[in-house]
């Protein structure tokens, strides 16, 4: 989602894409508003905790942090004090002096144009990464004025850059925000009953509606979860407009490269960024520096990659040679895959046009399943709070797309783009490591076998619920 502010510090200017967010809010003020973004539930839980700390919402630019905070505030507090830290010299100067809480609150009231009283006023510090000392001030609010609810938001890049001596370690809480998941997309497009079936694991009722789920999933592969794109689709059902929005978002990210990254690594950032869809499109999806440029080495691109990771524009899927616990202890740092922020942006960057939407299931096999793997990874992060790795045998004779830790178990997850029920690598993994359960996700219906469960692709966002049932 786009992460520009709704308005400037005086609240009297709205940008075109911000109007889209406003429109989205009006379009979806229905009975499904509370489940439009599952992050809203997390925020409500944070609000109700007696020991809450200031909350920092982290996410890539344009994933909807501003919209989420303002909607949460308006729905749960009598008053909202919105403070935008971006390009506000007066506010930056304020933080250069001491970080006395009372002095800051007085200034916040002037900037926001509303009185601030505890606990009925939500204080929002948007684009907080632009003023590092604003981040530091959260420590003092936690220690000296915990009765004031404060939510801050900033890009992953900015937050990462300021994790130094001034960062309030142990004095704040974090929440990660991603693009809308498929189930959130279903809610946004007026298909909340379909979500309820998935959440309830009612596969005897779900299966007869398979064609509906598949059609909506096909749309999601194209549209993705960037809220400006979803809002445009909800309003106009125009796939061409969706793709124009994708192009604008991709252009904005590339402009950020030049604006925020060290000038000496900008060309390498662009090269790496441009290579990600093609790397996922290879039969072997392992990231290879030589595919960026002939003769390229890891040392040349490590800073560029870290920059994109810190931005939240890409995600690293580490290889493990053994599914031990904790899984991170078995990472092979020299082998990994990269996924993008959003499946719709990946489709746009890959040149996937709207014709695939009317050509049946071809979309699910496009780029040898790359879109499907991107989609599954995205749902694991957003809906399941799972950051998976992948497994391959030492001699690359077998590979399982994802492995992940949940509870006290490590599960393998094989991804199939179509109704392909062959899972040779998955079976080899299961025979070698004997997991409690092996998982395959495909376009086939739900089915449970002795050693494996097949979860339909459109239901992968409810995988945690599935694991609780089998």
* pLDDT tens-digit map of 203-225: 999 999 999 999 999 999 999 99
Provide the pLDDT confidence category of residue 289 given band limits of 50, 70 and 90: very high
pLDDT above 90 coverage of the chain, percent: 71
Place of tokens 């000038």: 263
Token duo for residue 373: 């793997």
pLDDT tens column, 383-392 = 999 999 999 9
Give the pLDDT confidence score for residue 36 in this predicted structure.
52
What DSSP string runs through 49-65?
-TT---EEEEE-TTSSH
* Cβ atoms within 10 Å of 184's Cβ, excluding its own: 25
Give the pLDDT confidence score for residue 11 in this predicted structure.
32
Asked if residue 294 has pLDDT above 50, the reply is yes
Q: Which residue has the higher pLDDT, 7 or 437?
A: 437
**Please, what is the end-to-end C-alpha distance for the chain in angstroms?**
35
Give me the mean pLDDT over the 56-74 stretch.
93
Question: Residue 66 and residue 152: Cα distance in Å, rounded?
Answer: 10
For 189, phi then psi, to 5°, come to: -95, 15
Asked if residue 35 has pLDDT above 50, the reply is no
DSSP at 176: E
pLDDT tens column, 144-190 = 999 999 999 987 655 555 444 456 778 999 999 999 999 999 999 99
Which phi-psi region, left, alpha or beta, contains residue 64 (left: φ > 0; alpha: ψ -120 to 50)?
left
Q: What is the Cα Rg of the chain in Å?
A: 23
Any bridge partners for residue 154, and if so which?
A: 58
With the C-alpha atoms ordered 230, 231, 234, 240, is the resulting torsion angle positive or negative? negative
- Which domains does the chain carry? 16-176 (3.40.50.300), 182-469 (no CATH)
What DSSP string runs through 84-126?
E-TT-HHHHHHHHS---HHHHHHHHHHHHTS---TTTEEEEEE
For 17, phi then psi, to 5°, come to: -70, -30
Provide the pLDDT confidence category of residue 285 given band limits of 50, 70 and 90: confident
Give the pLDDT confidence score for residue 86 in this predicted structure.
87
Give me the mean pLDDT over the 333-357 stretch.
90
Provide the pLDDT confidence category of residue 28 given band limits of 50, 70 and 90: very low
Give the pLDDT confidence score for residue 199 in this predicted structure.
94
Give me the mean pLDDT over the 22-49 stretch.
62
Give the pLDDT confidence score for residue 5 in this predicted structure.
29
- Residue 125: HSE in the Cβ half-sphere, 13 Å Cα cutoff: 30
- What is the overall mean pLDDT for the chain? 87
Question: Residue 292 and residue 273: Cα distance in Å, rounded?
Answer: 9
Give the pLDDT confidence score for residue 170 in this predicted structure.
84
Question: Residue 452 and residue 467: Cα distance in Å, rounded?
Answer: 11
Give the pLDDT confidence score for residue 284 in this predicted structure.
83
Any bridge partners for residue 80, and if so which?
A: 122
Give me the mean pLDDT over the 427-455 stretch.
95
Give me the mean pLDDT over the 408-417 stretch.
95
Q: Which residue has the higher pLDDT, 367 or 6?
A: 367
Question: Residue 373 and residue 149: Cα distance in Å, rounded?
Answer: 39
Question: Residue 359 and residue 346: Cα distance in Å, rounded?
Answer: 19
Give the pLDDT confidence score for residue 76 in this predicted structure.
97
Integer CA distances (angstroms), 11 to 6, 72, 82, 112, in order: 8, 18, 9, 8
Asked if residue 7 has pLDDT above 70, the reply is no
* Cβ atoms within 10 Å of 222's Cβ, excluding its own: 23
Asked if residue 445 has pLDDT above 60, the reply is yes
pTM, two decimal places:
0.88
Range with lowest mean pLDDT among 108-122, 245-259, 326-340, 357-371 = 357-371
Integer CA distances (angstroms), 176 to 125, 265, 330, in order: 16, 27, 24
Asked if residue 27 has pLDDT above 60, the reply is no
pLDDT tens column, 230-281 = 999 999 999 999 999 999 999 999 998 988 888 999 999 999 999 999 999 8
* Cβ atoms within 10 Å of 52's Cβ, excluding its own: 15
Question: Which residues have a Cβ under 8 Å from the Cβ of 349 and sit 6 or more positions away?
Answer: 250, 274, 276, 277, 340
Integer CA distances (angstroms), 241 to 144, 232, 234, 442, in order: 49, 7, 11, 30
Question: Residue 67 and residue 177: Cα distance in Å, rounded?
Answer: 12
Place of tokens 């950051």: 387
Give the pLDDT confidence score for residue 335 in this predicted structure.
93
Range with lowest mean pLDDT among 122-126, 293-297, 372-376, 453-457 = 293-297
Range with lowest mean pLDDT among 124-138, 158-172, 269-283, 415-429 = 158-172
Give the pLDDT confidence score for residue 16 in this predicted structure.
30
């Amino acid at each position: 989602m786009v992460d520009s502010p709704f308005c400037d510090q005086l609240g009297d200017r709205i940008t075109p894409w911000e109007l889209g967010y406003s429109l989205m809010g009006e379009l979806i003020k229905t009975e499904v508003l509370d489940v439009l973004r599952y992050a809203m539930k997390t925020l409500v839980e944070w609000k109700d905790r007696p020991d809450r700390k200031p909350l920092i919402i982290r996410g890539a630019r344009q994933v909807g942090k501003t919209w989420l905070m303002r909607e949460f505030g308006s729905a749960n507090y009598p008053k909202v004090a919105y403070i935008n830290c971006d390009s506000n010299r007066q506010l930056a100067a304020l933080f250069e002096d001491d970080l006395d809480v009372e002095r800051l609150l007085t200034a916040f009231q002037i900037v926001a144009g509303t009185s601030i009283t505890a606990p009925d006023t939500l204080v929002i510090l948007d684009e907080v990464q632009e003023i590092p000392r604003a981040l530091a001030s959260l420590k003092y609010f936690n220690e000296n004025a915990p009765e004031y609810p404060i939510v801050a938001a900033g890009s992953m890049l900015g937050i990462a850059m300021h994790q130094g001596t001034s960062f309030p370690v142990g004095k704040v809480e974090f929440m990660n925000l991603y693009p809308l998941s498929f189930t959130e997309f279903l809610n946004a497009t007026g298909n909340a009953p379909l979500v309820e079936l998935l959440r309830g694991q009612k596969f005897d009722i779900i299966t007869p509606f398979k064609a509906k789920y598949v059609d909506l999933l096909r749309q999601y592969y194209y549209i993705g979860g960037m809220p400006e794109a979803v809002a445009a689709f909800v309003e106009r059902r125009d796939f061409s407009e969706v793709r124009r929005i994708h192009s604008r978002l991709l252009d904005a990210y590339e402009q950020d490269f030049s604006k925020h990254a060290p000038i000496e690594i900008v060309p390498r950032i662009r090269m790496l960024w441009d290579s990600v869809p093609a790397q996922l499109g290879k039969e072997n999806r392992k990231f290879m520096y030589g595919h960026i440029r002939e003769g390229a080495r890891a040392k040349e691109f490590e800073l560029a990659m870290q920059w994109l990771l810190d931005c939240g524009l890409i995600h690293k899927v580490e290889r493990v040679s053994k599914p031990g616990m904790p899984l991170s202890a078995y990472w092979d740092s020299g082998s990994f895959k990269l996924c993008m922020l959003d499946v719709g942006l990946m489709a746009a960057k890959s040149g996937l046009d709207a014709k695939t939407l009317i050509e049946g299931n071809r979309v699910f096999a496009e780029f040898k399943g790359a879109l499907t793997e991107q989609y599954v990874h995205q749902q694991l992060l957003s809906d399941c709070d799972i950051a998976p790795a992948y497994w391959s045998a030492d001699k690359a004779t077998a590979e399982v797309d994802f492995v992940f830790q949940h509870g006290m178990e490590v599960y393998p997850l094989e991804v199939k783009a179509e109704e392909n029920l062959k899972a040779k690598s998955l079976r080899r993994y299961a025979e070698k490591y004997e997991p409690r359960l092996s998982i395959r996700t495909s376009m086939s219906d739900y089915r449970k076998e002795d050693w494996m469960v097949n979860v339909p692709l459109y239901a992968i966002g409810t995988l945690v619920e599935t694991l609780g049932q089998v």
